[in-house]
A and B are shown apart, each in its own frame.
Chain A
């Protein structure tokens, strides 16, 4: 398996509290890399380190070495990095504009492309997330009129239009109903053909459904990682208890 991201001894300090305390992790290309762990354990912060959204929060001190495609994350230009590492958030966050404009947004600010290319790429992105047939007749409609599940797929399309290397998803189904959740999970499985997926979840059953490689983060550290979702080498009793709770 090809490693696309290597994280070594990552520490994130929020002044009063250390959120991530020397974390190691490998992310494998064209796999669904799942990160599970209790809430408040540093999962979201880890994602924000990878596309350097943490730059926006001057209160956070980030230390350690993270390489993406063999190059230190800090040597990337932040804007370019975020083009190559897309992100989908916990709650769908469509911008208050039309469906079409939402999907085209990243392309318009990042690329010099003609109207017809934008049209084609918007369509491609919407097709990739299986939304095109549902919205093709009213692309000019406000994105906020879509259902929650549709909005989340729209947000995925919005990230995919930039053709990222990695798509990070921060508990993308936690605010969705079971049916929409299923659709997004199906979608995630399909995405790994073209993209590397990093999925944060606290839902073990979801991890079982989609995960190729699972990392367990507990208390700011990676305590276990394995192919599939079975962890065998855990010794810490606290972590075992947590896993037991998850399994129930």
Chain B
């Protein structure tokens, strides 16, 4: 029975690979170099291109999706990492011990909120706030930072996606950090304090020294989750097509979101190449998610994850 997960995982990989194969051959490297994703004209009869029957005008360049995924996840980790560190510092060192369990549970509630609920909140609360208040202010005052100058057209895009993702991954990183602070031997902690370290110095040393591996491992696990997150990002990313982002206010379209968005039309498409292209996109997304996650687990080590494994990784 313990073989089931392995079997399932390998089956998923194998099937996705088989389905993706025509697209891999058909697209070659343009899949990663072009940002034009055109499903083709399905009302006209398919044409033969490079040995494949495809709808006229079809082209599958995933650069926009890849870039969008990296930008939103990157922003998410930039926000979530320091916030998680500070939260775990205050929970672990500054607040009284009995506040810890309820507070950590509250933070962990973030991991349980369904992603469509995040999306809904993003649409009704976050986007208007970004569109009318925050982004115009940033554009007017922070324009000297590269990527921060530009026109604010909608509230959806990189910032909204990054913020929502950061909320979703902060509990993961916080859990790992709190746990690693906890599991650092008290001899080390007392040793540090008895040399006159302040709480801040203690926390800083634990995070960057003693528990360094869990700190980075936790961040990678968070990143892994952000990369594959689908619905919330789909709802607040803007669903941009065929335009690369020009500033931090631009709309985007991540890999996961694009798969949902294009699957409907691909299903009805007779040649199957559209479906295959989405399978290739899935394969790539799956590959980087797995690599980041494995790396995170490897670095964090089993010990650091013990006790937090029942959280949503």
In the assembled complex, B264 has its CB within 8 A of some CB on chain A: no
Cα of A84 to Cα of B201 in the assembled complex, Å: 18
**Interface size of A by Cβ–Cβ distance < 8 Å?**
25
Q: Which of A134-186 contact B (CB under 8 A)?
A: 155, 158-159, 162
Q: Is the CB of A53 within 8 A of B195?
A: no
Tell me if B193 and A96 are in contact (CB < 8 A).
Answer: no
Are A109 and B195 closer than 8 Å at their CB atoms? yes
| Segment from A22-30, A87-95, A228-236 that makes contact with B | A87-95
CA–CA, A155 to B195, complex, Å? 10
Contact check: which of B195, B196, B209 meets A97 at CB < 8 Å?
Answer: B209
Residue count of chain B within 8 Å CB distance of chain A: 19
Decide if A109 touches B197 in the complex (CB within 8 Å). yes
Interface flag for A59 (CB, 8 Å): yes
| Candidates B187, B196, B210; contact of A106 at CB < 8 Å | B196
State in angstroms the CA–CA spacing of A127 and B187 once bound together.
25
Whether A79 contacts B194 by the Cβ 8 Å rule is: no
Whole-angstrom distance between the Cβ of A60 and the nearest chain B Cβ: 11
Q: Are B191 and A89 in contact (CB under 8 A)?
A: yes
A53 and B193 in contact, given A58-B97, A59-B97 (Cβ under 8 angstroms): yes
List of B residues within 8 angstroms of A110 by Cβ: 195-196
- Which of B187, B189, B201 is within 8 Å of A109, CB to CB? B201
CB distance from B268 to the nearest CB of A (A): 59
A9–B191 Cα distance when bound, in Å, is: 27
**Residues of chain B within 8 A of A82, CB atoms compared:** 193-196
Interface contact A155-B191, CB-CB below 8 Å: yes
Q: How far is the CA of A217 from the CA of B309 in the complex (A)?
A: 45
Q: How far is the CA of A70 from the CA of B195 in the complex (A)?
A: 22
Question: What is the interface of chain A, defined by CB distance below 8 A to chain B?
Answer: 51, 53, 56, 58-59, 79-80, 82-83, 86-87, 89, 91, 93, 95-97, 105-106, 109-110, 155, 158-159, 162
18 contacts between A and B (CB under 8 A): A53-B193, A53-B194, A56-B190, A58-B97, A79-B196, A82-B196, A86-B194, A86-B195, A87-B190, A89-B191, A89-B194, A93-B185, A95-B209, A105-B192, A106-B196, A109-B197, A155-B191, A158-B195
